[in-house]
């Protein structure tokens, strides 16, 4: 790469300025501060290797404050409180978008992040129509979360509606 005269002058000025500024900044940063074995530039402390002791200030490891107990109604059943927990849905659900395509095999669908061979129920969120298919792992290039066979997709919605929002139940 050939430099013309203007670029050479600029390069020379940058080199000279760097040679002057960097040592000056270093001198101002370390002016009057001895560097000992226990200090690191930036003010961090290290372990003193001669004694094996840390020179950090020690802090208590046990909290000296007493715990706070909240007031409330006492349990009627001998000290055991009953806690109402709603029933959890035993089926895991995933909400994603679905489209259609040509897939080999009967009753299969390509689903992202779902175990291959698992039977899933797909519900169209727009009209509540459902189908069941066996999932296969989708390629990483698949844009939508679920790809159905054309006949499966027609059961859920019109082909012109693709992609559609769906709920997958495992």
SS3 71: coil
Q: What tens digit of pLDDT does each residue of 47-97 get? A: 555 555 655 566 555 566 676 666 766 655 566 666 666 655 556 788 999
Architecture (CATH level 2) of domain 93-169: Beta Barrel (2.40)
Range with the largest mean pLDDT of 78-87, 136-145, 147-156: 147-156
Q: What tens digit of pLDDT does each residue of 3-43 get? A: 788 888 999 999 999 999 888 888 887 765 655 544 555 55
**Domain range annotation of the chain:** 93-169
User: Is a pLDDT exceeding 60 seen at residue 158?
Assistant: yes
Q: How far is CA 67 from the centre of its chain?
A: 35
Burial class (CB in 10 A: 0-12, 13-18, 19+), 17: exposed
pLDDT for 62 equals 59
Band (121; pLDDT cuts 50, 70, 90)? very high
């Amino acid at each position: 790469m050939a430099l013309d005269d203007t670029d050479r002058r600029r390069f020379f000025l940058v080199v000279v300025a760097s040679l002057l500024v960097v040592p000056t900044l270093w001198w101002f940063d370390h002016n009057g501060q001895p560097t000992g074995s226990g200090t690191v530039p930036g003010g961090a402390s290290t372990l003193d290797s001669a004694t094996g002791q840390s020179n950090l200030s020690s802090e208590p490891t046990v909290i000296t404050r007493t715990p706070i107990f909240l007031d409330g109604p006492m349990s009627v059943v001998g000290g055991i409180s009953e806690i109402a927990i709603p029933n959890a849905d035993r089926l895991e659900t995933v909400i994603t978008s679905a489209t259609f395509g040509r897939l080999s095999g009967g009753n299969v669908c390509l689903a992202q992040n779902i175990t291959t061979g698992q039977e899933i129920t797909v519900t169209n969120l727009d009209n509540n129509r459902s189908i069941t298919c066996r999932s296969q792992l989708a390629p990483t290039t698949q844009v939508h979360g679920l790809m159905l066979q054309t006949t499966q997709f027609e059961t859920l919605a019109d082909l012109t509606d693709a992609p559609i929002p769906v709920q997958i139940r495992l």
